[in-house]
Each structure stands twice: as structure tokens, then as C-alpha cells.
Chain A
């Protein structure tokens, strides 16, 4: 089945366009379904984020709000100074999870307005503030300069 030059060229272009179209389709559908928006507690309250929508929620853990119960259930309040949202989580908290410090959680609100987190990201040392949390605190006017001492950064991924 010898092909002419023209046929070869058309085959090559058709296959390339096919793969490209597949890639574009995949990217667009994945961007619609699987990206997660970052919100501060104020965003959650003001924008009326719908229950069940997967979001990231970041803020400071309100001092004194951490409650541990059986089966490794924990509850705490996340605040950005103006509003606070109750977060419920089951599992091990990261090593550096502490009251008064910044964390980012991922999950969805339940109908009662409690944020059901399945992931809690804290940072690698005591001086670091997650960038998203720092930005939202600045926006809310509750930023203190001593939050950002020099230090190493990072959520718990390599």
C-alpha cells in the first residue's frame, strides 16, 4: 500500500491534529471540572460559596478553637480577622499545625455551613505563612509584619 507524498503528508497532519484536539479537549474539560478556587473565610461568607463546591479555605487557626474528639475527629475555626468558618477534619494533622498559625485546607461546605476538609496543609516551620493566607490577611487589613519573618516555606509537598 504505497502512499503518495500527498497522502503521507495528509496522514501526518491529520494524526497530529487529532492528538492536539484530544489534548485541548482534555485540558478544557479538566479545567472545568478539577480546579479548585482559593477562598478566605470572608470570601466564603460574602460570596455565598455553595455547599458541596470544592474549594480551598485558608486562614489563621483561631486560638482556643481546636476541639479533638474520638476517632481523630477535630474541629477548629479558621479566621481572617473579619469572619470565621468552622472546619471539621478527620485524620492526622500536619506536624506544624498550631493554633494562631496559618493553614490551608481543602474540602467543601456542608449544608450546615461547616467546612468538611479532607486535606489540611500546614507549613514547614514556625515562621512561615502560606502565601495565599498572607495575601488574604493583607486584603482584610489584619496583616501584622511579624507574620513574615525570614524562613523557609512550603506546604507539605516536595
Chain B
């Protein structure tokens, strides 16, 4: 009964989406308030019905109802409760349902909290949002019904892919989807603006909090996925430039560019058409990612199942929405009033530079990700474009961006003073130089570029700190005044600086991990010791342990630093009977922000076991930095100025003055 209710709720959600995608848009066209007012209740109701449907699916999984096909294929009655719960979206059908749940949630949020929006814009935004929703509801109902029943209910399920039986599945996909799908709102705003043929600084102010929200979740979602891959796959790698990772990274780059260009649009009423284009681009890349992951053109752990009809359906959605959006853009954008040009050396000039580098970096990743597929389709030649390609193209474009980053926030709007800003970045330069010198001495003979990487990361960190110090008058004012001014700074100023600081921290971690990680692969017998970087690991033997739905061989290692015992590492190899497959569970020992990483290989006949041991210096900074970026976004989002919407038309001058004074 419950699966049928869930299915029915999804059909009702589709019906509501069809209403919401037409009636409010007609209302906006006819300026009919009553028709437009349909949008809000339908958006909320649509979300409620998808939520009911999702709850029904969760119920099927938690109660191990194997009469449902997807539950049978992806669950097992012996799984711990948390994995029964998360396995609901550890498969194609369920993850698409999560996708539309989040899509509908964003629509409902705009309906409930978009009170400051003009009625026609709100009606159009919600209508466009519903076009997307309707397309994906249809996709689920026609090709990927998560509630399909099996004629004879099996007694036991086939278990979830062991790699997904991890807490990471509870965290990574929902966060990533909140980001991915969150860009649908920016997209809907852009399409609505094109339909209305009107766009101004206020539009940027409305769209920015939504973009920021999506960006925050995408940032943390990508970071969590990276950490999950790092500890689950047993190779100690945290980023593989895999097409699926690129599929989430491209919207992040476009979304980051959008956040910055919307700033220029809001403050200077310029870059309007470009900002619209970025809003369309960010979500188009999200859709492309969905297509790449869901259609089966790629083979990876994310590609749960391969079914050509699904690929064709998503491709059709992709073509209609992206093609339609760009056609609309080409037709309507020339009608929009262009903003003014501005001086290259200025805050807005720096933001343009930011956009230039972010979008070209995004484009190179796009080429590298799609080129193998296009080539194979055209010539049948199979190639792999891997890390060497992306490292050779991405970093040369990202490094100039990082160098320019500390300058931007210190630059004045309209006319900047490059020399003055350079002087004010004295502290950051000093920090970077000291960092380079120390690294040269300490790591002498190591990778040549490494000290400069450290210097660059410190420059970005120092730049973010200089920005805050400068704004609060540090060095020019007595301390109590500095303290008061720092506390009185707008939260968005703190948020922006924190986000930049977070990126600096991440870069610092990346430089450390990629230059100074140490690896050791060895076969050890019981009571033998292996050493790496001053840590001694003594192997105490293998034991067999039984988990809920697996058996595992656990290797026990005592870790000593000098004479002191600092911990135990227990990596294991798990065998899952239901799927006949094995996974390695790496063991981690955290020392400050560095980690010892141990994973188990094959056991030999003589009681020995091969292990892979890594020392990863400061590796945790990579994800810690992403967390700081997330917090920076959250702080910005809590700024009242972002939430109160546009100034009333009656007093535009005053409002502009106020925001400029606050900068």
C-alpha cells in the first residue's frame, strides 16, 4: 500500500507542477493577480507531495519491503538501520527522487520567503522552476519509477553496493544535490528576467542569496565527496579529476563566477547580460552533470545502472532546457539595457578578472571531460583524459586568479589604486615571503614549485586577513576602536573574507599533501614493525570479525612515535556475501591536521599481509578550508542587507548611498 501511495503522491506532484508551470506565467503576462497568486500555494503543495512520496520510499527501505524492485536490488534486511535509510538514494531511482525533492523544496522556499519580489517576477520564477520539476517528474514516472513492484516478492534483498555502505552516503549526495539543484533558482530567475525583458540591480540583489545558498551546499558537498573517496577507496587520493567529479566542479566554478558578477551588477548596475548568462550556465552545467552521471555514458560508482532510454530522456531534457534557455537568451538579451563600462583598475575590474579566469578554467575542464566522449562517438577511438591534462590546464588558469584574489576586496569601486592596495597588502606579501623562505630551508631539495605554492596559499590567507584588518582600521586606530569597528562590519564583509580565507586554507592543504605525502607499501609478518616519517607501526596479527551483513579480516597495528604509544590502527577487508564483493576499510590516525593512513592488501600464506601506509601532512586542511568557505557563505547569508531585498523605488538615491557608505 505504501509504495502505491508514494507513487500516487508523485503523480499529484506532477499535476501540481503542470498547473504551476502555466497558470502563473499566463497571469504574469495578463497582469492578473489572481492567476499569479496560484503559484505560491501550488509550489508549497508540490513540495509536500514530493516529500510524502519520498517518505513513502524511505518507509519501504527501512521496513525492508522487498516487493519493491529498487528495495530488492539495493537493500538487505541485515543492514544497519542508517544504511537502510540512506540506501533509499543509493540507486538511480531513489537519487532522482531526492533530486526532485530538493528542486521542489527550493521552489517552496521562494514561494514562502520571496515576499520582497515583484508579483510578476515571482510568478514567472515559480513557473520556470515548475517546468524543470515537471520534466523531471515525467522522467521519474516514465523511466525510473522507484515504486515499481515485483510480481513475486523475494525474501531477501541483493544488498547495497558495499562502497556505499558508509556514513558518507548520508551526507554527500544530499549536500551535493542541495548545491547542484539549488542553481535551478538562479536559472529560473534568469529565464524570468528574459521573459519580462527587464533586469536591473535589484534583480541581482534578489538572486544573490539563492545563489549563495546553493554555492555553500555545493562547496561542502564536493568537499564531503572528496573526503569520502579519500577514506573509502583506500588509495589515499582525494581528487581524481574523474568526469563525475568534474561534473560537480564545473557548476561550482560557474556558480562562484556568478556570485561575484552579481555583486558587480548589484553595486554598479553593470555586467547584467553576463550575469544572466552565468546564471543559465551554472544550472546548465548542473543538468549536464546529471546527464553524465545518470545516462550511463560514464562508468563509475555513481552510475548506478545503465539504461539507454533514461539516457535519451535526460538528453532530451538537457537539449530542451539548455537549448531553450540559450535561444531565449540570444533573442531577448539584446533588448536588455546594457550597463556602463568601467575602469580596469577597480573593484569591478578585479571581479571581471575573477570571472574571466573562473569561466575559462571551467571551459578547459568542460573540454577535457567531454572530449573523450565526443571522440569516441565520432571515431570509435577510446582515450582517457586524466589528471595530467587537468593539472596542466586548470592550475595555470587558477594560479593567476589566486594571485589577484587578495587585491580585489581592497580595491575601491569605480577607481582603484593598485599601488595603494599593494602597500596595504604588505603584511600578506611578508607572510608569503617568510613562508617561501621557511619552506625552502626546511624542505630543501624538494619539489621546486612547492615553496611558491606555500607562498601563494599564505598570500591568499594573508590577503583575507588584511582585508578585515584594513576595514576595521587596524594599525591606524586605537585597539578598542578597531574592536568596535570589526564587530560593526557588515556580516557580508566578514563572510567574503572568510570564504577567501577558506580557499587559502584549502590551497595550503593541497600544496602540502601533493608535495610531501609519503607512501610505503610493504608486506609485514606479525610482530614486525614498519616505519614511516618517525612513526613505527607494529603488526599484531589478523583477526576475523563478523559484521551485520559482512565478515571482515581486521589487521591490528600499534602506532608509536618515538617510545610513546599514540594509538591503534585497524584497517580491514570486508567481504559481503550477498554481492560476493570485497571492500577495503582504511584506518586513519589524525595528528593535528595531518593523518596516518593505512589500508590492507592481500594476506600471504605465511601469515604476512601487504599494507599500504601513507603519511599525509596537513591533509585535513583541504576539507577544513571548504568548511570555512561554507561558514563564510552562511555568515554572508545572515546579513540583513541580503535578505531585505531591493530598496523601494521612491528612495533609490538614499539606498545606494547607504550601501556605498557601508562598503
- Mark A5-27 against chain B: 1 for CB-CB distance below 8 A, else 0: 10011011001100110110011
With contact pairs A95-B573, A96-B581, A157-B300 given, residues A35 and B344 touching in the complex (Cβ less than 8 Å): no
Q: Does B549 contact A (CB under 8 A)?
A: no
CA distance A75 to B344 in the complex (A): 60
Interface mask (A73-96 → B, CB under 8 Å = 1, otherwise 0): 000000000000000000111011
Evaluate whether A26 and B383 lie within 8 angstroms (CB atoms) in the complex, with A8-B342, A12-B341, A158-B244 already known. Answer: no
Report the nearest B residue to A156, measured CB to CB.
B233
Cross-chain contact A23 with B360 (CB below 8 angstroms): yes
Q: A132 interface residue, CB < 8 Å from B?
A: yes
1/0 per position for B442-475, CB-CB distance to A under 8 A?
0000000000000000000000000000000000
Could you tell me if A34 and B389 are in contact, using CB atoms closer than 8 angstroms? yes
Beta-carbon nearest neighbor of A39 in chain B = B382
Binds A, one of B50-58, B117-125, B250-258, B303-311: B303-311
Interface string of B362-385 (1 = CB under 8 A from A): 011001100110000000011111
Which of B188-196, B391-399, B638-646 is near enough to bind chain A?
Answer: B391-399
Please give the distance in Å from A68's CB to the nearest CB on chain B: 9
Chain A residues near B (Cβ < 8 Å): 3, 5, 8-9, 11-12, 15-16, 19-20, 22-23, 26-27, 29-31, 33-38, 56, 72, 91-93, 95-96, 106, 124-126, 130-132, 135, 150, 152-158
The 10 closest A-B pairs by CB, nearest first: A158-B229, A38-B382, A34-B388, A92-B601, A154-B301, A30-B392, A23-B360, A125-B581, A157-B242, A157-B240
Q: A26-B396, A158-B228 are in contact. Are A132 and B382 (CB under 8 A)?
A: yes
State A91–B523 Cα separation when bound (angstroms).
10
Show 30 A/B contacts (Cβ-Cβ < 8 Å), sorted by A. Answer: A8-B342, A8-B344, A12-B341, A12-B344, A15-B356, A22-B396, A22-B397, A23-B393, A27-B367, A30-B368, A35-B383, A38-B382, A92-B610, A95-B581, A96-B581, A106-B384, A125-B579, A126-B580, A126-B581, A131-B299, A135-B382, A152-B304, A153-B299, A153-B306, A156-B233, A157-B233, A157-B242, A158-B240, A158-B245, A158-B301
Contacts of A15 in B (CB 8 A): 344, 353, 356
Query: What's the Cα separation between A9 and B349 when bound, in Å?
Result: 12
Determine which of A16, A106, A125 lies in contact with B161 in the assembled complex, contact meaning CB atoms within 8 Å: A125
* A50 smallest CB distance to B (angstroms): 17
Q: A140 to nearest B CB, angstroms? A: 14
Residues of B near A91 (CB, < 8 A) are: 521
CB contacts (< 8 Å) of A19 on chain B: these are 356-357, 360, 397
Assess whether B300 is in contact with A155, with CB atoms less than 8 Å apart. Answer: yes
Q: Contact at A154–B397, with CB atoms within 8 Å?
A: no
B515 at the interface (CB under 8 A from A): no
Tell me the residues in window 411-463 of chain B with beta carbons closer than 8 Å to chain A beta carbons. Answer: none
- Given the interface pairs A19-B356, A26-B396, the reply to whether A38 lies near B229 with Cβ below 8 Å is no
The answer to whether B244 touches A156, judged by C-beta atoms less than 8 angstroms apart, is no
Complex interface: chain A residues within 8 A of B353 (CB): 15
Q: Using Cβ atoms and an 8 Å threshold, which residues of chain B touch A153?
A: 299-301, 303, 306
Q: How far is the CA of A23 from the CA of B365 in the complex (A)?
A: 11
Give A111 Cβ to nearest chain B Cβ, in Å: 24
User: Are A36's CB and B233's CB within 8 A?
Assistant: no
State whether A95 touches B383 (Cβ < 8 A).
no
Closest-CB distance, B42 to chain A (whole angstroms): 38
Closest CB in chain A relative to B273 CB, distance in Å: 14
**Beta-carbon contact of A23 and B397 below 8 Å:** yes
Bound-state Cα–Cα, A132 to B372, Å: 12
Measured in the bound complex, the distance between the Cα atoms of B242 and A131 in whole Å is 16
CA–CA, A154 to B234, complex, Å? 15
The secondary structure that dominates the B interface is: mixed
Most chain B beta-carbon neighbours within 10 Å: one of A15, A16, A130, A156:
A156
CA distance A56 to B573 in the complex (A): 28
Cβ of B388 and Cβ of A33 under 8 Å apart? yes
Kindly provide the distance from the CB of B496 to the nearest chain A CB, expressed in whole angstroms: 23
Contact A96 B582 (CB under 8 A): yes
* Number of A-B residue pairs with CB-CB distance less than 8 Å in the complex they form: 149
Of B343, B357, B521, which contacts A8 at CB under 8 A?
B343
Indicate if B558 sits at the interface (CB-CB under 8 A).
no
Contact A154 B303, CB 8 Å, known A30-B389, A124-B161, A126-B579:
yes
With the chains together, A125 CA to B601 CA distance in Å? Answer: 17
Chain B proximity of A46: nearest CB distance (Å): 15
Chain B residues with CB below 8 A from A157, complex form: 229, 233, 240, 242, 244-245, 300-301
Chain B neighbourhood of A130, CB < 8 A: 299
Scan B320-345; emit 1 where CB is below 8 A from any A CB, else 0. Answer: 00000000000000000000011110
Whether the pair B341, A9 counts as a contact (CB closer than 8 A) is: yes
Given A36-B384, A126-B581, A154-B303, list of 7 further CB < 8 A pairs?
A19-B357, A26-B397, A34-B388, A91-B521, A92-B610, A135-B382, A158-B233
What separation, in Å, do the CA atoms of A27 and B343 have in the docked complex? 30
Most A CB within 10 A of own CB, among B302, B393, B584: B393
Most buried by B among A16, A37, A92: A92
Check A34/B386 contact, CB under 8 A, given A23-B363, A23-B393, A92-B602. yes
Cβ contact within 8 Å between B364 and A124 = no
With A and B bound together, what is the CA distance between A33 and B390 in angstroms? 12
In the assembled complex, the CB of B606 is this many whole angstroms from the nearest CB of chain A, namely 12
The residue on B at minimum CB distance from A3 is B343
Whole-angstrom CA separation of A124 from B90 in the bound complex: 15
Bound: A31/B371 CA distance, A: 9
Residues of B within 8 A of A93 (CB): 601-602
Residues of chain A within 8 A of B303, CB atoms compared: 153-154
Contacts of B244 in A (CB 8 A): 157-158
Separation of A29 and B396 alpha carbons in the complex (Å): 13
Q: Is the CB of B161 within 8 A of A152?
A: yes
Contact at B367–A35, with CB atoms within 8 Å? no
B343: chain A residues at CB < 8 Å are: 3, 8
Q: Is the CB of A37 within 8 A of B386?
A: no
Residue of A nearest to B74 (CB): A152
CA distance A155 to B204 in the complex (A): 42
Asked if A156 contacts B235 (CB within 8 A), the reply is yes
Contacts of B393 in A (CB 8 A): 23, 26-27, 30
With A12-B341, A72-B610 known as contacts, the answer to whether A35 contacts B396 (CB < 8 A) is: no
Residue from A37, A152, A157 with most neighbouring chain B CB atoms (10 Å) = A152
C-alpha spacing A156/B386, complex, angstroms: 14
**Contact among A8, A11, A36, A124 with B163 in the assembled complex (CB-CB below 8 Å):** A124
The chain A residue sitting closest to B344, CB to CB, is A11
Smallest CB-CB separation from B382: which chain A residue?
A: A38
Q: A26-B393, A95-B582, A125-B161 are in contact. Are A155 and B341 (CB under 8 A)?
A: no
Query: Are A8 and B602 interface neighbours, CB within 8 A?
Result: no
CB distance from A117 to the nearest CB of B (A): 14
CB <8 Å contact, A20 and B301: no
B306 surroundings in chain A (CB, below 8 A)? 153
Closest Cβ neighbor of A30 among chain B residues: B392
For window 564-610 of B, CB contacts with A under 8 Å fall at 573, 579-584, 601-602, 610
